[in-house]
Amino acid sequence: MKKVILGLFFLFISLSVQAQRIAIMGALDQEIAILLDSMKSSKKVSRGGIDFFTGKLKGKKVVILKAGVGKVNASYSTAILTENFSPSVLIFTGVAGGLHPEALPGDIVIGEKLVQFDFGQVDSTGFKVSPFRKLNGGRHEELYVEADRKLVEKSASAARKIEFVPISNRTPKVFSGVIATGDIFVSNDEKAAWLYEEFNALATEMEGAAIAHICRTLGIPFIIIRSCSDNANNHARVNFNQFVGPASVNSAHLVLGILEEM
Ligand code: ADE
C-alpha cells in the first residue's frame, strides 16, 4: 500500500512538472513564425478558439500561441493559456513603436516595467492615467508592473551574444526600460512625445501591460521583448509595413537566446 501511494505521489509530481511549459506569445503570425519553424516535434491543440503549439525549442518544453492584437485579445489568450497549460514562465515577443529618440527600427526593447497608458479618467482638466484596484477590490495595484528580474537579466545577457538583423546598415541597439501599452496604434508625433515624457517609455505597443497585469495577479514570471518596427510618429504606418518583418525576426532571435540562458 505504501509503495502504491509513493508511486502515485511520484507520478503526480512528474505529471505536474511535465505540464510546466514555457509559454511564448506573439500578437501576429509574423512575430511567432520563426519560432514555430524552429520548434521540434510540434503538436497543435486548440482551446477556446486559440491554436496552441507544443514542442521543444532549444531543448526546452514550450507552448507557442498567437494572442491577437490589443489588450482584450491578449488578456483572453493569456487566460485561456494559463487555465490550460499553467506555464512556468511567459515570454512575449513582437514589434513596437520606438519612443526613445535613439530606439530606431530593428532595435530591441526589453520591458523592465509595463504601464497601461489608456486606463484612467477624463475631467475638465483632461485625461489622467490611474492604477487598477485589486481584482477583489481593496487597495490599488502599482501603476507600473515589473517584469521578472531574473528574466530581465537573462534577456540582457542573451542580447549581448546575438547578432541582430541590421536595418539600413545600422547594427541594432538594445534598450531596457518602460514599455507603454494601449489599445491604440500610435502614428502621431505628439502622442509619441507624450508617451515618452509622461511615462518615460522607450516603446509603445498594444498587449504587454495587459499580459503583465494578469501575470502579476497569477504570480507567473514574465518578460516582454519587443523590437521596433517604427517610431510611433507620423510615418509609423509606412515604417511598420517596411520593418515588421526584420523587427519580428530580431525579437524572436532574442527569445531563442533567452531560452538558451534558462
Ligand atoms: N506596434 C508596432 N508599432 C506600434 C505603434 N506605433 N503603436 C502601437 N503598437 C505598435
φ/ψ (deg, to 5) at 55: 165, -160
Residues with CB under 6 A from ligand 1: 95-97, 185-187, 204-206, 229-230, 232, 236, 240
pLDDT of residue 14: 46
Range 61-73 average pLDDT = 98
Cell of 97: 513603436
Alpha helix (H) residue ranges in 39-124: 71-85
183 Cα–ligand 1 center, Å: 10
Mean pLDDT of 13-18: 46
What mean pLDDT is predicted for residues 143-166? 97
Weakest mean pLDDT among 2-6, 50-54, 218-222, 225-229: 2-6
What pLDDT score was predicted for residue 1? 56
Encoded amino acid at 204, one letter:
T
> Which residues sit opposite 222 in a β-bridge?
90
Cell of 2: 505504501
Do 182 and 118 meet the contact criterion of CB atoms below 8 Å apart? Answer: yes
The protein residue with its alpha carbon nearest to ligand 1, atom 1, reads: 96
- Give the 3-state secondary structure of residue 238: helix
- Is the model's pLDDT at 133 over the cut of 80? no
Q: How far is the CA of 120 from the centre of ligand 1 (A)?
A: 20
DSSP string covering 100-116: STT--TT-EEEEEEEEE
pLDDT in tens, 186-218: 999 999 999 999 999 999 999 999 999 999 999
